[in-house]
Structure 1
Amino acid sequence: MDGAPLYLEPHLEPPLASLLESAAFLHMLVDALGSPVNVVLPDQIARNVERFRTAYRRHNLVGQVFFAHKANRSSALVRRLAATDAGIDVASLAELQHALGAGFTPDRILATGPKSPEFRWLAARSGVTVSADGPGELEELDALVRRHGLPRVRVLLRLSEFETPGAKVLSRQTRFGTSIGSLDQLLDVVERHQETLQPIGVAYHLDTTSLDEKAIAFEGCLLAMDALRKRGFQPRVIDIGGGFGVNYLAHAAQWERFTTELAHAVLGKRPPMTWSGHGYGLRAEGGTLRGALSLYPAHRPVAGAAYLDELLSLPAPALGRPLGTLLLENLYDLHTEPGRSLVDQCGLSLARVLEVRRTDAGVCLVRLAMKASDASLEEHGVLMDPVLLPRSDAHAVTESTARYGGTERAAAARSTEATAGATSAGATSAGATSAAPASPTPVAVHLTGNLCLEADLITRRTVHLPRLPQPGDLLAFVNTAGYCMDFSATHAQQQPVARKVAVHRDGGSWRWCLDEQYWPIIRPGGQQI
């Protein structure tokens, strides 16, 4: 088992999977624009909006789906989103300017996050809704409106630190929002400033994936709405934020096997499987495993719109009835702020292989024309295998097909991998493709960046590829549009950040344009749609 490859095959859906089959097209993009290159699929964000709308309709609810803009700075994605009925959540002055310039009207924009005076002024001046974290922000908004003679500002009161009777549920501490225990003081402020502030509802902020914690917060918001109404206000909105998640991996068995083997490696029960024995939050003390795994739960069978559906179906902890039903009975609108889940399958990051060498210790290093910050999967705790796209077009097609199924050799390897995975974690998900090697001897490598810095590792873990890459080959890091693509990108050591392009399918071919040149009514070449 120790020597068996530990694959973490990415979950791929048709548009993104189809793009990976066009290796010659992707090589052409890197040839033209340099490495690395970020590729986005604007039409996919519209499909993801519809998935959330379907969950709304399933529970007979209305309200707005706001894309958390901080997840990706792409103009193409934002402009395509503006052509749907969705809204956008902006967390900075530049994001607000970007949203207005992309075609969003103020009634479809929500201003959240820490706000500079300039950000607050433009939000109030343009008439967007402001999600306020505390009484200080409400006081500043009131003064701004009075000083400049602005219209009354719509506000959401963002709450945190919810409690429930019975067993205490622990959640991570947050610096956002006002404790539910201080709600009365918050209501005192909006009551005092009714001429300038219009509280349309409440919101919550939680740094968790726990459905139970979110159900507690959801119920707390319902009770807070009652408190608003008792003060004479007419609130209509409950905003439950984001955190709906993405399923990054194709197989639960591979994820379970990897995390199990990682624990064994930290305890010294198997050879190391990371650079310098990095434990991703785990450590060994006296032969005992300590710490907590600091990784995103990369295999999530319930994520995105399905997660929202499950949350709305969950009974409120004290009130007992489903949360969606309670919203409907009170005729409240539901607002959501998905980030990474709304750009799921919306993009990939390409990097060219620069060098392949072995150290004296026999470790294979693959250096890429990319910095770790250009595809910050490790920083965000997201582990997935990259897809190898060899330089030869013919070879690329064969390699890609073998890598993801469709040949007899891949089917045989798929059976072997499934058996190995089932040994530690049960059967793989039905109908999914496999991370089958393209040859009987896959290679274990470490992926490094192009900075003169020891810490510039694209992956800390050992990655298994179907064959040894060659200089000029490409590695495609898929599904990076949510936070991993450009959230942390820098110009360190004067190395360039990734150029970004938007692509779409035109008949049997892929077409592209620079991200900033994309508009939903014009395709590359000037053709209006």
Structure 2
Amino acid sequence: MRDAPLYLRPRADPPLASLLENAPFLHSLVDALGSPLNVLLPDVVARNAERFLAVYRRHHLAGRVYFAHKANRSSALVRRLAACDPAAVGIDVASLEELRHALGCGFTGNRVMATGPKDPELLWLAATVGATVNLDSVAELDQLAGLVRQYGPARTHVLVRLSGFESDAGPGGAGTRVLSRRSRFGTPVAEADELWAALERHADSVELVGLAYHLDTTGLEEKGRALERCVLLMDECRARGLAPRAVDIGGGFGVGYVEDAGEWERWTTALSEAVLGIRPPLTWGGHGYGLRNEAGTVRGTAALYPAHRTTAGPGYLDELLSRPAPVLGRAPATLLLEHLHDLYIEPGRALVDQCGLSLARVLEVRPMGDDPGRYLVRLGMNAGDVSLEEHGVLVDPVLLPRGGPQHEATDDRADHGADDSADDSAHDSADGGPVGVHLVGNLCLEGDLITRRLVFLPRLPHVGDLLAFVNTAGYVMDFHAHHAQRQPVARTVAVTEDGGTWRWCPDENYWPITHPQGVPS
């Protein structure tokens, strides 16, 4: 008897949901441009930026939303954001090439923030074009100041990123001492005096405009503690004659990938049961995603992104700003407003939420002889083209039959050659209902698994069908893409909807302007 299907069906909001309903259009794109294929909706990124800015307005805050460019390589997304309010929307670049790309897509230097590890070339170009540089150490500050003095660009705006925030967890400052998790980014707060002294020493070359932090956590309390500490440290800066005016709280606002909370809870419970051996394995080779069985007890921590989130993106920011901070007991939004500080944020994944999908053609379907009722489905992509597993994101693809629900007609598969026999054999033994499949890639590697887990689909796919991996614009569709074995890397297209008609162009050809014909270029 088969197990009940354990779905992790994706959340798909308009207009992405509308695009998924137009299977013939998506099939025509893959027919023309090949598999895999990335499809982006640039207008959605602008709507997401506006949703974050609506939270600013709700709390009467000023500041800027910086898109973390590393989340996606697209030109269309960056150009669409460049067309947004220049006072409110900027871009966060973490490499020289990202900076050059942002400038080429329409961002002026004063809307750019340079973060991440920085080589001299990035520091020089950032200073030259008037970007703000978010510094992680005194050594970076020294290097930047030296370049400004030597090559003569104007005094450069900088933020200094801090880490190692410590505070009392108890009310009124009495209680257990709490230290934020360790980070490779930023100067520990305990070494702040050395940082302030360096800023004073380089006052001729740099101007401090704010303090920043980057915390790799979803914990609201930890982020609220860091935000509050930055506000207090701003007072310390002003006492030394510095004049910071902004707090940059980084990213990490999150995305909800799975629509139904119950499905997520059932799957994670079933994973623990499978690790214990009280139900059949849910994964290839019994992979436990960080969980293990030790004498009948589940140990370890599941290395999984919380795929169902009740609060994410702008809602998460709203909650962070509204939640009382641990020491002063007032909401961070109130603290920022009282001190007349601007708020900077750097969303990546959250800003491209619902902005795109990745398509893959089904190349082969065959039963697993050692596991009756389950199948291997080989796709025209590899794990680097849709790196869900690399980021611990578990979500089902959407099956898009070729030719619609009547795909079972034999003439619909007449041109698929040798693979047809395996496909027919698999379907001869399937009953047409939900089925568990292992999705594998096109590389000659045992480890090329699109998903390590068993994925349940509403029916067994046919060769020529498409699987659509939904909401892949953030870190999934191109972050790990490569040319291994000379397999093609996915092309990317931008799509727009006009009066119910979908139009597309290559990503690099999209510009957020309207031509006389009435469509974006």
Name the SS for the 1:64 alignment partner: strand
Q: Which residue of 2 aligns with 1:405?
A: none
Contact between 1:511 and 1:524, CA under 8 Å: does it hold in 2?
A: no
Aligned equivalents of 1:140 and 1:390: distance in 2?
Answer: 56
Q: Which residue of 2 aligns with 1:58?
A: 58
Name the SS for the 1:51 alignment partner: helix
Q: Which residue of 2 aligns with 1:94?
A: 97
Deviations 1:259-305 (CA, angstroms, capped at 9, x unpaired) = 00000000111110100000000000111111101000000110000
Aligned equivalents of 2:188 and 2:484: distance in 1?
Answer: 39
Name the SS for the 2:166 alignment partner: coil
TM-score by length of 2: 0.92
2:154 aligned with 1:151: yes
Deviations 1:283-336 (CA, angstroms, capped at 9, x unpaired) = 001111111010000001100000000000011111111110010000000000
2:338 aligned with 1:297: no
**Aligned residue identity for 2:400:** L
- CA separation of 1:351 and 1:233: change in aligned 2, threshold 3 A: same
C-alpha deviation, 1:227, in angstroms: 1.2
Aligned equivalents of 1:332 and 1:527: distance in 2?
Answer: 41
Deviations 1:84-142 (CA, angstroms, capped at 9, x unpaired) = 12100000000000111111111111000001111111001111000000100000011
Aligned equivalents of 2:516 and 2:377: distance in 1?
Answer: 35
Deviations 1:178-235 (CA, angstroms, capped at 9, x unpaired) = 0011111000000011000100110011010000100111011011101110110111
- CA separation of 1:33 and 1:19: change in aligned 2, threshold 3 A: same
2:45 aligned with 1:45: yes
The partner residue of 1:376 within 375, 379, 387 is: 387
Deviations 1:32-66 (CA, angstroms, capped at 9, x unpaired) = 00000000000000110110011001100000000
Q: Which residue of 2 aligns with 1:121?
A: 124
Name the SS for the 2:350 alignment partner: helix
C-alpha deviation, 1:172, in angstroms: 3.5
Deviations 1:129-171 (CA, angstroms, capped at 9, x unpaired) = 0000010000001110111112101000100110111334464
2:340 aligned with 1:340: no
Q: Which residue of 2 aligns with 1:80?
A: 80
Aligned equivalents of 1:525 and 1:2: distance in 2?
Answer: 55
Aligned equivalents of 2:514 and 2:285: distance in 1?
Answer: 50
2:466 aligned with 1:474: yes
Q: Which residue of 1 aligns with 2:144?
A: 141
Aligned equivalents of 2:494 and 2:515: distance in 1?
Answer: 10
Aligned equivalents of 1:66 and 1:360: distance in 2?
Answer: 51
Query: Structure 1 stretches of 5 or more lacking a match?
Result: 397-438
C-alpha deviation, 1:379, in angstroms: 0.5
Q: Which residue of 1 aligns with 2:453?
A: 461
C-alpha deviation, 1:393, in angstroms: 3.5
Q: Which residue of 2 aligns with 1:278?
A: 287
C-alpha deviation, 1:509, in angstroms: 1.2
Contact between 1:203 and 1:240, CA under 8 Å: does it hold in 2?
A: yes
Contact between 1:156 and 1:202, CA under 8 Å: does it hold in 2?
A: yes
Contact between 2:165 and 2:180, CA under 8 Å: does it hold in 1?
A: no
**Aligned residue identity for 1:275:** W
2:508 aligned with 1:499: no
**Aligned residue identity for 1:178:** T
Q: Which residue of 2 aligns with 1:435?
A: none
**Aligned residue identity for 2:375:** C
Aligned equivalents of 1:169 and 1:306: distance in 2?
Answer: 26
Aligned equivalents of 2:210 and 2:237: distance in 1?
Answer: 8
Aligned equivalents of 1:524 and 1:49: distance in 2?
Answer: 27
Q: How many residues align?
A: 488
Name the SS for the 1:14 alignment partner: coil
Please list, as runs of the form range in 1=range in 2, the aligned pairs for 1:137-286 lying within 5 A after superposition: 137-165=140-168, 166-169=175-178, 171-286=180-295
RMSD: 1.6
Contact between 2:284 and 2:454, CA under 8 Å: does it hold in 1?
A: yes
Q: Which residue of 2 aligns with 1:448?
A: 440
Aligned equivalents of 2:152 and 2:481: distance in 1?
Answer: 40
Aligned equivalents of 1:494 and 1:461: distance in 2?
Answer: 27
Contact between 2:433 and 2:460, CA under 8 Å: does it hold in 1?
A: no
**Aligned residue identity for 1:368:** L
Aligned equivalents of 1:305 and 1:508: distance in 2?
Answer: 28
Aligned equivalents of 2:328 and 2:406: distance in 1?
Answer: 60
Aligned equivalents of 2:355 and 2:520: distance in 1?
Answer: 22
Aligned equivalents of 2:256 and 2:233: distance in 1?
Answer: 33
TM-score by length of 1: 0.90
Please list, as runs of the form range in 1=range in 2, the aligned pairs for 1:421-436 lying within 5 A after superposition: none
Aligned equivalents of 1:77 and 1:61: distance in 2?
Answer: 26
Aligned equivalents of 1:495 and 1:285: distance in 2?
Answer: 41
Aligned equivalents of 1:30 and 1:20: distance in 2?
Answer: 14
Contact between 1:66 and 1:89, CA under 8 Å: does it hold in 2?
A: yes
Aligned equivalents of 2:383 and 2:432: distance in 1?
Answer: 30
**Aligned residue identity for 2:36:** P
Moved more, 219-228 or 470-479: 219-228
C-alpha deviation, 1:357, in angstroms: 0.6
Q: Which residue of 1 aligns with 2:322?
A: 313
Q: Which residue of 2 aligns with 1:390?
A: 401
Contact between 1:38 and 1:347, CA under 8 Å: does it hold in 2?
A: yes
Query: Structure 2 stretches of 5 or more lacking a match?
Result: 169-174, 408-430
Q: Which residue of 1 aligns with 2:8?
A: 8
Q: Which residue of 2 aligns with 1:34?
A: 34
Deviations 1:397-445 (CA, angstroms, capped at 9, x unpaired) = xxxxxxxxxxxxxxxxxxxxxxxxxxxxxxxxxxxxxxxxxx8721110
Aligned equivalents of 2:501 and 2:182: distance in 1?
Answer: 49
- CA separation of 1:524 and 1:459: change in aligned 2, threshold 3 A: farther
Contact between 2:432 and 2:460, CA under 8 Å: does it hold in 1?
A: no
**Aligned residue identity for 1:66:** Y
**Aligned residue identity for 2:3:** G
- CA separation of 1:59 and 1:2: change in aligned 2, threshold 3 A: farther
Name the SS for the 1:73 alignment partner: coil
Name the SS for the 1:13 alignment partner: coil
C-alpha deviation, 1:487, in angstroms: 0.5
- CA separation of 1:67 and 1:528: change in aligned 2, threshold 3 A: closer
Q: Which residue of 2 aligns with 1:425?
A: none
Aligned equivalents of 1:105 and 1:240: distance in 2?
Answer: 22
C-alpha deviation, 1:523, in angstroms: 6.4
Name the SS for the 1:375 alignment partner: coil
**Aligned residue identity for 2:394:** L
Contact between 1:171 and 1:208, CA under 8 Å: does it hold in 2?
A: no
**Aligned residue identity for 2:289:** Y
Aligned equivalents of 2:179 and 2:157: distance in 1?
Answer: 32
Q: Which residue of 2 aligns with 1:432?
A: none
Contact between 1:512 and 1:524, CA under 8 Å: does it hold in 2?
A: no
2:96 aligned with 1:104: no
Contact between 1:169 and 1:213, CA under 8 Å: does it hold in 2?
A: no
- CA separation of 1:441 and 1:170: change in aligned 2, threshold 3 A: farther
C-alpha deviation, 1:174, in angstroms: 1.2
C-alpha deviation, 1:525, in angstroms: 7.0
Moved more, 230-239 or 341-350: 230-239
- CA separation of 1:256 and 1:281: change in aligned 2, threshold 3 A: same
- CA separation of 1:527 and 1:258: change in aligned 2, threshold 3 A: closer
